């Protein structure tokens, strides 16, 4: 944090606190509360948290519309300052908490003693605020797995023993911290690498704790508070301030107080049924780049450029486009776990819905959307309408809009609606929405599950991955038996598991929708670019009309997503030779046998043109060393050139390879180099598709040969 | 961790005292507080073990220093606080 922004932030906060005090003095308690809430974020340091907690403590709550909550914190550390901040953050989540703090370091006595003040207080929620210090795992270096298991089971039993008395006597919700795994251990890396390591043990403990809590009866009454994850999110290096552990038994840094209190408040609110239910999203510049009404779906389609480029979405639209897809994917996952998803956009309905129906990179579809509102009314009006339509409260809604003016209008007119502050970079949208922890839940209902196939698909993926891993792990723990054969089998199995589908599109006069993006890729590629050639869009248009030229572009998708248009090849025939004039490829798909897939297509094109030989050239540049050996790898022979200087790495090289016909194999071709150097030159694999003929092994399957 | 907001070597004990007074007023939420060297928890009713920590944390942040563990609990009056801050900030 720079001092300047830090100081202006403090000045801003002071101004808001002063307004809050004035509102308090004037008896306008809701305004005072709103000002306090806007003055602070969970990430703010302890001074600000303490200040706001103090102002909140002096605020009468009757007119704030909060739901009362009696909760107890039982801890072997000091939580008084934390409880002050927690009261405030619970209020922002809709709860007015009365908090009983059990005497310090008496957790077990407090819970087991039926006459303790805890039971007299009759809390509806008990937070067992434990830390790693409470999980006593006596594991010696080198302990065997059985001893480890016994020790962890015992620790889990010690923790879970405290749940039943609370559940039996109080009919309450129990929140149980897991272990915040410490940053430092005398064994260093080994603490998390060895089977007997301290971190390994605590990780197992945390996993077992989650399983035990989920299995506890009555169900859903014990909720694990993932303190370890919070510590990681906050930063383990600054999570603990040892001075205040030794001085006064504060278990975590004061600067994490707001962070932990906010996370806890959101979870507790969820346990009390107060978490958000509905996500309302703007469209233009929120889930895609640009304005659909102005930019259109694809922009320049075929003919002359109209200036518009189309909305930015998907890998083909650059980094921004990918970020919007990722944000959509995050929303889709929220929807899949049961969050209602609605759209609220200033647009004509037809324009607004077009991408959902037609754009190939949309992750969200019309049937994902509970209410779709696109009109020119104000956002607050539309949000009210959505709330009525869905029969939910405004306080169950989160509204996401890239436009600060719209956000401000909603905040002012509908203070119940949560409106996250969005950055102006779509790459940060997920984080901006996630830090609010609006959609916490303590359980997953059958309803949630029925609404979605998300978890089921995930589970299926997991099963396949496990099967794939197990098939390679037959040697048990002894990994020293790994052979290179195993490794190449592993690689092949991995590539197959990606379920890659390559698409080949031939660009010509009739099918040139991909031409602008092909030109873009040619002109922005540096690393995987064999010749460094550049073609403008117009030049490319001329080129695709030439009989001797063929221009192909390639798309690749796999089970995890679409990589978009990732490669362009320009071929030029001269007599019986087919020359690779240009070959560019996106580096993100390297190592996927896409090169082999592309070569096979080139070979097929050569067969189609009755060529005998394929030639290529590598022209070194400052950035394309990556592909200096590409042709060699693909079974090409170097062609000696008269002008070549010996051992000059900057010298361009020429390559050639005989065309493989479907009936021939590389072994039979006279120009082929030594087989042992080229592992990809294997006998033909059985074909899953009749064309193009596969003469190099690839794990990319094909669907389309051309658009025709 | 914040950098020291004050890098001016010419500031004196008086400026520390001034800044310290503002911290006391904020932490104890009382603009009428006027500190003096012998002032301790006895003179200020709200100065208990919990607010002592809040006070020390506020001093750390405001002066951009970090007290040692032993010092956190060992500071008994305003004079000691000011002397310690003066020593740490090199004023």
A213's enclosing H/E stretch is helix A198-215
- Cβ A693 vs Cβ A486: under 8 Å: no
Q: Provide the β-strand partners of residue A71.
A: A99, A125
Q: Give the model's pLDDT for residue A235.
A: 97
The predicted model gives A605-632 an average pLDDT of 89
Domains of chain A (ranges; CATH) run 66-271 (3.40.50.1110), 279-450 (3.40.50.1000), 499-704 (3.40.630.30)
A341 and A370 in contact (C-beta within 8 Å)? yes
Residue A128 has φ and ψ, to the nearest 5°, of -85, 95
Is the pLDDT score of B5 beyond 70? no
A46: which chain B residues are within 8 Å (Cβ-Cβ)?
A: 54, 57, 61
Residue A642 pLDDT: 53
Q: Do the chains contact at A1 and B67, CB–CB below 8 Å?
A: no
pLDDT of res. A536:
76
Q: What is the pLDDT of residue A445?
A: 58
Contact across the interface for B3 and A3, Cβ inside 8 Å:
yes
In chain B, the residue whose alpha carbon lies closest to the alpha carbon of A47 is B58
DSSP for A135-162 reads: ------TT--HHHHHHHHHHHHHHHHTT
pLDDT score of A220: 75
The tens digit of pLDDT for each residue in A317-353 reads: 888 999 999 999 999 999 988 898 999 999 999 999 9
* Numbered residues of chain A with Cβ closer than 8 Å to any chain B Cβ: 1, 3, 6-7, 45-47, 50-51, 54, 80-81, 242-244, 246-248, 250, 254
Average the pLDDT over A632-659 and give the result. Answer: 77
Q: Write down the pLDDT at residue A465.
A: 45
Q: Do B3 and A248 touch (CB under 8 A)?
A: no
Q: Which of the residue ranges A78-92, A541-555, B36-50 would you say has the lowest mean pLDDT?
A: B36-50
B22 shares contact with chain A (CB less than 8 Å): no
Residues of chain B with Cβ-Cβ distance to A250 below 8 Å are 53
The mean pLDDT of A569-593, rounded to a whole number, is 89
Does an H or E element contain B80, and which?
A: helix B78-89
Q: What percent of chain A has pLDDT over 90?
A: 58
Band of pLDDT at residue A252, cut at 50, 70 and 90 = very high
pLDDT band at A371 (very low <50, low <70, confident <90, very high): confident
Question: Best mutation site among B31, B54, B63 for testing chain A: the one with the most A CBs within 10 Å?
Answer: B54
Q: CA nearest A10 in B: which residue?
A: B62
Give every strand in the sheet of A397-400, ordered side by side: A371-375, A340-346, A278-281, A397-400
Q: Which has the closest alpha carbon to B24: B34, B15, B16? A: B34
Q: Give the rounded distance of the alpha carbon of A297 from its chain centre.
A: 26
pLDDT-derived band at A467, boundaries 50, 70, 90 = low
Residue range A367-390: average pLDDT?
89
Cβ-defined contact of B54 to A7 (cutoff 8 Å): no
Look at residue B44 in the predicted model and tell me its pLDDT.
87
Choose between A239 and A564: higher pLDDT.
Answer: A239
Q: Which of A53, A82, A247 best probes binding to B when mutated, by most B CB atoms within 10 angstroms?
A: A247
Q: To the nearest whole number, what is the mean pLDDT of chain A?
A: 84
Verify whether the Cβ–Cβ distance B69 to A7 is below 8 Å.
Answer: no
Coil/strand/helix, residue A307? coil
pLDDT band at A487; cut points 50, 70, 90? low
CB pairs < 8 Å spanning A and B: 41
Rounded to whole angstroms, the Cα distance separating A159 from A135 reads 8
A3:B49 CB<8 A: no
Examine the pLDDT at B14 and tell me if it is beyond 50: yes
Cα A534 to Cα B51: distance, rounded to the nearest angstrom: 69
Span A460-481, average pLDDT:
46
Counting every residue, how long is chain B?
91
**For residue A649, what pLDDT is reported?**
56
Given a cut of 70, whether residue A641 has pLDDT beyond it is no
pLDDT for residue A538: 79
Name every chain B residue with its beta carbon within 8 A of the beta carbon of A243.
66-69, 72
Q: Which residue of chain B comes nearest to A49, CA vs CA? A: B54
Binning pLDDT at 50, 70 and 90, where does residue A21 land? very high
Per the CB < 8 A criterion, the answer to whether A107 and A162 are in contact is yes
Q: Distance between terminal CA atoms of chain A?
A: 57
Q: Could you tell me which residue, A268 or A447, shows the higher pLDDT?
A: A268
pLDDT (mean) for A410-435:
95
Q: Phi-psi bin for B26: left (phi > 0), alpha (psi -120 to 50), beta?
A: alpha
How confident is the model at residue A697, as a pLDDT? 81
Does A3 contact B5 at a Cβ distance shorter than 8 Å? Answer: yes
Q: Is B26 helix (H, G, I), strand (E, B) or coil?
A: helix
Please state, for a pLDDT cut of 70, what percent of chain A lies above it. 83
Summarize the confidence of residues A196-200 as an average pLDDT: 94
> Looking at residues A113-140, what average pLDDT do you find?
94
Identify the CA nearest to B70 among candidates A96, A15, A248, A621.
A248
- Alpha helices (runs of H) in A445-553, residue ranges in sequence order: 446-450, 454-471, 484-497, 515-524, 537-545
| Inter-chain residue contact A51 with B26, CB threshold 8 Å | yes
CB A267 within 8 Å of CB A220:
no
Q: Is the pLDDT of residue A682 over 80?
A: no
Least confident of A14-18, A19-23, A700-704, B27-31: A700-704
**According to the model, what pLDDT value does residue A708 have?**
38
**Chain B contact set for A3 (CB, 8 A):** 2-3, 5
Residue B7 in this model has a pLDDT that exceeds 60: no
Q: Does B7 touch chain A (CB under 8 A)?
A: no
Residue A256 C-alpha, separation from nearest chain B C-alpha, in angstroms: 13
What domains lie within chain B, and their CATH numbers?
13-89 (1.10.1200.10)
* A505-543 residue pLDDT tens: 999 888 888 888 888 788 777 778 999 888 877 788 889
Distance CA A584, CA A528 (A): 5
Region A122-150: mean pLDDT is: 92
Q: How confident is the model at residue A107 (pLDDT cuts 50, 70, 90)?
A: very high
Q: Please report residues of A whose CB lies closer than 8 A to that of B50.
A: 80-81
Question: What pLDDT does residue A681 have?
Answer: 33
Residue A534 DSSP SS3 = coil
Torsion from C-alpha of A434, A209, A93, A257, nearest 10 degrees: -80
* B-chain residues near A244 (CB < 8 A): 53, 72
Q: Which residue of B has its CA nearest to A82?
A: B50
Among the listed residues A251, A204, A207, A205, the one whose alpha carbon sits nearest the alpha carbon of residue A231: A251
Residue A63 has pLDDT above 90, yes or no: no
CB contact under 8 A, A3 and B57: no
| Residue B65 C-alpha, separation from nearest chain A C-alpha, in angstroms | 14
Pick from B49, B54, B68: which is nearest to A50 by CB?
B54
What is the overall mean pLDDT for chain B?
84
pLDDT at position A453 is 36
Q: What is the mean pLDDT of residues A633-653?
A: 72
Q: How far apart are CA A675 and CA A665, in angstroms?
A: 12
pLDDT at position A461 is 39
Give residue A301's pLDDT band: very low, low, confident or very high (50, 70, 90).
very low
Q: Give the strand order in the sheet containing A222-225.
A: A95-101, A67-75, A125-129, A173-177, A222-225
Confidence (pLDDT) at A674 = 34
Asked whether A580 and A597 are in contact (CB, 8 A), the reply is no
Q: Which residues contact A78 (CB under 8 A, 6 or more apart)?
A: A104, A248, A249, A250, A251
Residue A596 has pLDDT above 60, yes or no: yes
Tell which wins on pLDDT, A96 or A592: A96
């Amino acid at each position: 944090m720079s001092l300047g922004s830090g100081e202006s932030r403090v000045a801003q906060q002071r101004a808001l606190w002063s307004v809050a005090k004035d509102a308090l003095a004037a008896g306008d308690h809701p305004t005072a509360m709103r000002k306090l809430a806007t003055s602070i974020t969970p990430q703010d340091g302890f001074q600000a948290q303490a200040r706001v907690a103090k102002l909140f403590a002096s605020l009468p709550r009757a007119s704030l519309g909060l739901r009362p909550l009696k909760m107890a914190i039982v801890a072997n550390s000091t939580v008084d300052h934390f409880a002050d901040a927690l009261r405030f953050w619970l209020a922002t989540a809709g709860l007015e908490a009365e908090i009983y703090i059990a005497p310090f370091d008496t957790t077990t006595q407090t819970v087991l003693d039926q006459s303790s003040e805890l039971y007299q207080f009759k809390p509806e929620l008990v937070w067992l605020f434990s830390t790693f210090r409470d999980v006593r795992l006596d594991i010696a270096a080198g302990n065997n797995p059985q001893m480890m298991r016994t020790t962890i089971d015992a620790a889990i039993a010690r923790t879970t023993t405290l749940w039943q008395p609370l559940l039996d006597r109080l009919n309450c919700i129990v929140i149980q911290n897991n272990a915040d795994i410490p940053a430092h251990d005398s064994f260093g890396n080994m603490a998390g690498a060895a089977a007997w390591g301290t971190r390994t043990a605590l990780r197992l403990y945390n996993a077992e704790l989650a399983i035990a809590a989920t299995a506890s009866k009555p169900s859903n009454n014990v909720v694990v508070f993932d303190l370890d994850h919070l510590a990681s999110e906050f930063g383990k290096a600054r999570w603990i301030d040892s001075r205040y552990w030794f001085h006064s038994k504060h278990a975590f840094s004061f600067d994490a107080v707001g962070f932990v209190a906010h996370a806890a408040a959101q979870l507790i609110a969820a346990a009390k049924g107060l978490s958000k239910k509905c996500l309302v999203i703007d469209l233009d510049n929120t889930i895609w780049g640009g304005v659909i009404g102005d930019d259109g779906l694809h922009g320049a389609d075929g003919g002359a450029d109209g200036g518009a480029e189309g909305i930015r979405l998907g890998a083909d639209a650059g980094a921004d486009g990918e970020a919007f897809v990722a944000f959509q994917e995050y929303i889709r996952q929220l929807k899949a776990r049961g969050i209602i998803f609605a759209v609220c956009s200033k647009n004509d309905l037809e324009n607004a819905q077009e991408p959902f129906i037609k754009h190939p990179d949309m992750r969200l579809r019309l049937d994902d959307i509970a209410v779709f509102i696109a009109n020119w009314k104000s956002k607050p009006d539309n949000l009210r309408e959505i709330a009525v339509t869905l029969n939910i409260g405004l306080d169950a809604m989160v509204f996401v809009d890239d436009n600060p003016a719209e956000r401000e209008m909603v905040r002012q007119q509908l203070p119940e609606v949560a409106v996250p502050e969005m950055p102006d970079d779509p790459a940060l949208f997920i984080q901006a929405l996630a830090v609010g922890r609006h959609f916490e839940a303590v359980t997953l209902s059958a309803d949630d599950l029925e609404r979605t196939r998300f978890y089921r698909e995930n589970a299926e993926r997991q099963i396949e991955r496990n099967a794939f891993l197990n098939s390679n792990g037959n040697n048990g723990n002894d990994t020293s038996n790994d052979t290179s054969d195993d490794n190449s089998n592993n690689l092949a199995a991995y590539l197959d598991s990606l379920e890659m589908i390559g698409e080949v599109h031939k660009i010509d006069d009739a099918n040139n929708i991909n031409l602008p993006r092909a030109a873009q890729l040619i002109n922005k590629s540096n690393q995987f670019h064999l010749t460094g050639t550049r073609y403008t869009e117009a030049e490319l248009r001329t080129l695709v009309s030439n009989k001797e030229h063929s221009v192909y572009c390639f798309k690749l998708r796999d089970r995890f997503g679409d990589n978009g248009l990732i490669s362009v090849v320009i071929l030029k025939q001269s007599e019986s030779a087919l020359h690779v004039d240009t070959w560019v490829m996106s580096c993100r798909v390297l190592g996927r046998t896409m090169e082999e897939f592309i070569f096979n297509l080139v070979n097929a094109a050569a067969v189609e043109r009755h060529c005998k030989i394929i030639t290529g050239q590598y022209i070194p540049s400052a950035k394309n060393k990556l592909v200096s050996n590409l042709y060699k790898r693909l079974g090409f022979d170097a062609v000696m050139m008269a002008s070549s200087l010996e051992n000059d790495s900057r010298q361009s090289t020429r390559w050639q390879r005989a065309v493989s016909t479907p009936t021939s194999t590389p072994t039979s071709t006279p120009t082929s180099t030594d087989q042992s150097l080229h592992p990809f030159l294997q006998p033909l694999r059985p074909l899953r598709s009749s064309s193009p003929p596969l003469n190099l092994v690839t794990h990319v399957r094909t669907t389309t040969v051309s658009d025709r | 961790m914040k950098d020291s907001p004050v890098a001016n070597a010419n500031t004196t004990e008086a400026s520390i005292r001034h800044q310290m007074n503002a911290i006391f007023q904020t932490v104890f939420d009382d603009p009428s507080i006027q500190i003096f060297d012998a002032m301790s928890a006895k003179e200020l009713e709200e100065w208990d073990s919990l607010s002592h920590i809040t006070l020390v944390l506020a001093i750390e942040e405001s002066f951009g220093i970090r007290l040692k563990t032993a010092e956190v609990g060992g500071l008994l009056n305003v004079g000691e606080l000011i002397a310690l801050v003066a020593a740490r900030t090199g004023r």
